[in-house]
Amino acid sequence: MKITNDLAELLKRTRLDPEEIAERFRFLDWQEEDAKRLSAAAQRMAPAQQAFVDHLYRHLEQFATPSALLRMPEVTARLKQSQIEYYQRLWAGPYDDDYVNGRLRIGVIHQKVGLELKWYLGGYRLYLDDMLSSLFDDDRSITLYSSLLKAVFFDISLAIDTYSAAQHKALEDSEARFARALRGANDGLWDWHVDQDRLYVSERWASMLGLSRDSIGETSASWFSRIHPDDLPDFHQAIDAHLKGQTPSFHHEYRIRQHDSSYIWVLVRGVADATTPGQLRMAGSQSDISAYKGAEQRLKHTARHDSLTGLANRMRFDEQLQSALLRQGKNGTREAALLFIDLDRFKLINDSLGHRAGDHVLVEVAKRLNGCLRPGDQLFRFGGDEFIVLLDDLACSSDAEHVAQRLLDSLRQPLHLDNRTLVVSASIGITPLQDEGTTLDTLQAADLALYRAKAAGKAQFARYTEGLQIVAQHHLELESSLGQALQNDEFELHYQPICRIDQDHVHLTGVEALLRWRRGERLISPLEFIPALEESGEIIHVGEWVLRQACRQTRAWQLTGQGGLRCSVNISSRQLQQADFVPRLIDILQDSGLPPSSLILEITESLLMHDNAETLSCLNELASLGVQLALDDFGTGYSSLGYLKRFPLHILKVDKSFIGGTPDDSELSTISRAIIGLGRSLGMEVVAEGVESDAQLDFVVGEGCHYAQGYWFSRPRPAANLQQLFSGEDCFEGLWCLLPDAQQTPIYDPAATEAEQ
């Protein structure tokens, strides 16, 4: 079988096709007569052949190499017999395909047993010599021709040597080049005879695994059994794809086990060769790519993790959410939920304490959140102060709420930062993972729930419901029509009285202009749309309209009997940041004729927090015009006392969330008392906002607060409505006391005030 294969291979290589054979015969000037002549003499020559074979073996025995091959008598006897048959055939012919194959076959056998060509050729020389003497009897000519044969055969052997030496050298050079290239590439080689499942691997292939070549078996099992179980299916798939012709080459990265049972990453490359039927084989190289894989994995890790907190980042989240959604589609999967966490008022920490402190808070928050989770839960930093928790294995959907509550509780613990103690809180939106959901749907749903939690007062969680989607839609519509509201004349101003309160005397000294948006029948509160106006920048135009409108209206009231009336207008920080705010304001004052001292601009702490030179100089300029500045909602922001000294503020407004608690809530009463005292001691006018009851009014009066504003006196009213008050035609809520001959009617009726608007 082996010889037949080798012979087939050799025939292919020598390209001994019929044409080649015909050419050789032509060059030998071979005639039909030659065959006939030889065949006719064959019988006669038989004894001489026999004698020659004996002669040949005797001759060979004198030489060490061939005699070593002829040590066993029974082998020698068999060889002699086949030689005799051959020489018989040499004379008898026919010189057909069978003859050629027979000769080549003998050649292959001789080459395989290691008989060099010189013995082979020398044997022919002896043969011709013996034949010569048995054919002719002229001794002199015979000896001469015999000598010539010897010389010619010597030359032939030399010529063959040079040819084969040159071929050897070319082969060796090529092999050396190949070996050098391999050493340089440091790759292992493999050659797998697929049909017979015979595997050859190179020394380097084995040493890559810390093994010797001999310790690796000769079938593919000794290779494949070392492949990491997780990588095996893909490996087989890659081979199959290539064997089916679906890929031009086999190219695959996988992990393979080393002698010490550890794994290294390797890259295998190869191609299949199926040119000979039944001889499908694949061969190629294998390189150790562990170092590159390590670097790749480090890069992958870096790209998927946040450097500040070390948590997985948004990119990793996207991948994990995708696979969680896919898992959700499978039967028997437990419930899964996504928690979208956003820190409340984190910007305030960053703006007031600086980014370093902000970073510190984020790291601490990440630690706390992590501490609340179970091993299978995943935490990500989504960006800024946003975190996401993916809960993949919940017994029931309400478990997500328990986790959310745990997270909120852990964040609520005071956080110590340098010499400060901070309390951070977060809002959380929860959404279940739906099997038919997409990444976008899930995030949107969680975001809506988060928005809901924020809107409901922060520091809490909210679950996604379909209703939220409708609310969001509504918001979107609201925002798009808000852009047109000014043009469409949909804004109007309401005015709320602000009263001077002394122990024995209360009288109206001013009004606060408050913006309203009329949409059909509905009157929308500024709390709903001011943030959107600020975000779009539209607040600048709307704010200017408010100022102009309020100044004109107040001036009109001044001219009709309310001479000393002051007007407070709320100013957004975006308005004050305009470079030309002051000249615009001067224009408005001149246009309306309102004295600057009758205008109070209400600003909030968020503006002062930026604490930059422009803000300060703008406020100073306004103050020097004679305009009054009030700090609104004091106590709800980062209440820094530093602002009160640094900025030219005249009025302090105590937020209604404090006043609302007086006098029953002792804590809120204490805070209100402190703020009122603080304003007074700094020489500022203090206004208590949100006074709704007698008791609250008594409280603020008792604390020496100068002014008050709230439903007890009046709700904000349209200008025309207030006009009735000024002209004594009507009175409402607590304002009966402001009128010269006040009736003793109920001073505060919540039902009536609810009905307003």
Q: Is 187 in the site for Mg ion (CB under 5 A)?
A: no
**Residue 710 contacts ligand C2E per CB under 6 A:** yes
With binding defined as CB under 6 A, does residue 692 bind ligand C2E?
A: yes
Q: Site residues for Mg ion, window 684-743 (CB under 5 A)?
A: 689
CA–CA distance, 721 with 726 (Å, rounded to integer):
9
- Compute CA distances 439 → 237, 325, 327, 329, 391, whole Å: 30, 8, 13, 14, 15
Out of 364, 392, 447, 602, which residue is the one contacting Mg ion (CB under 5 A)? 602
536 binds ligand C2E (CB under 6 A): no
Q: Dihedral angle at the C-alpha atoms of 314, 319, 320, 322, nearest 10 degrees?
A: 120
Q: Closest residue to ligand C2E, Cβ-based?
A: 710
Instruction: For residue 666, count other CB atoms closer than 10 A to its CB.
Output: 10
Return the number of other C-beta atoms located less than 10 Å from residue 75's C-beta. 11
Write out the binding residues for ligand C2E, residues 110-169 only, by CB under 6 A: none
Which among 609, 607, 611, 604 has a CA at the least distance from the CA of 634?
A: 604
In the complex, minimum distance from the CB of residue 632 to Mg ion, in angstroms, rounded to a whole number: 4
If the CB atoms of residues 427 and 570 are measured against ligand C2E, the closer one turns out to be: 570
User: For residue 713, what are the β-bridge partners?
Assistant: none
CA pseudo-torsion sign 413, 415, 420, 424: negative
| Residue 69: strand, helix, or coil | helix
The distance of closest approach from Cβ of residue 543 to ligand C2E in the complex, given in angstroms and rounded to an integer, is 6
Residue 656 found at the interface with ligand C2E (CB under 6 A): yes
| Nearest distance from C-beta of residue 448 to ligand C2E, angstroms | 24
Question: Which of 431, 572, 672, 693 touches ligand C2E (CB under 6 A)?
Answer: 572
| Residue 525 near ligand C2E by CB under 6 A | yes
What distance in Å separates the CA atoms of residue 755 and residue 278, rounded to the nearest whole number? Answer: 96
Question: Which of ligand C2E, Mg ion, none sits in contact with 710, Cβ below 5 to 8 A by type?
Answer: ligand C2E
Site map (CB under 6 A) of ligand C2E, residues 602-621, x = contact: x-------------------
Give the binding-site size for Mg ion (rule: CB under 5 A): 5
Using CB distances below 5 to 8 A depending on partner kind, what does residue 206 bind out of ligand C2E, Mg ion, none? Answer: none
Write down the least CB distance from residue 604 to Mg ion, Å.
8
Our finding on whether 529 is near ligand C2E (CB under 6 A) is no
Report the residue from 385, 392, 544, 633 that binds ligand C2E according to the rule CB under 6 A. Answer: 633
In the range 604-633, which residues lie near Mg ion by CB under 5 A?
Answer: 632-633
Distance, CA of 588 to CA of 579 (rounded, Å): 16
Member of 206, 530, 616, 731 binding ligand C2E (CB under 6 A): 530
- Measured distance CA(278)–CA(196) in Å, rounded: 9
Question: Of these partners, ligand C2E, Mg ion, none, which one is at the site of residue 526 (CB under 5 to 8 Å by kind)?
Answer: ligand C2E
Residue closer to ligand C2E, measured from CB, 284 or 663: 663
Residue 666 CA: distances (Å) to CA of 238, 654, 670: 76, 16, 6
Q: How would DSSP label each residue in 519-549?
A: ETTEEE-HHHHHHHHHHHTTHHHHHHHHHHH
Query: In one letter, which amino acid is 570?
Result: N
Strands (E), 556-671: 566-570, 599-603, 628-634, 651-654
Which of 356, 446, 370 is CA-nearest to residue 410?
370
Look at residue 746 and give its three-state secondary structure.
coil
The two structure tokens encoding residue 615: 């803000």
The nearest distance, CB 416 to Mg ion, in angstroms, is 32
Q: Is 515 in the site for ligand C2E (CB under 6 A)?
A: yes
Q: Is 266 or 571 the residue whose CB approaches Mg ion more closely?
A: 571
Q: CA-to-CA distance for 548 and 279, rounded, in angstroms?
A: 95
User: Would you tell me which residues interact with Mg ion (CB under 5 A)?
Assistant: 570, 602, 632-633, 689
**Using CB under 6 A as the criterion, which residues of the chain lie in contact with ligand C2E when the complex forms?**
496, 514-515, 525-527, 530, 543, 546, 570-572, 602, 632-633, 656, 689-692, 709-711, 716
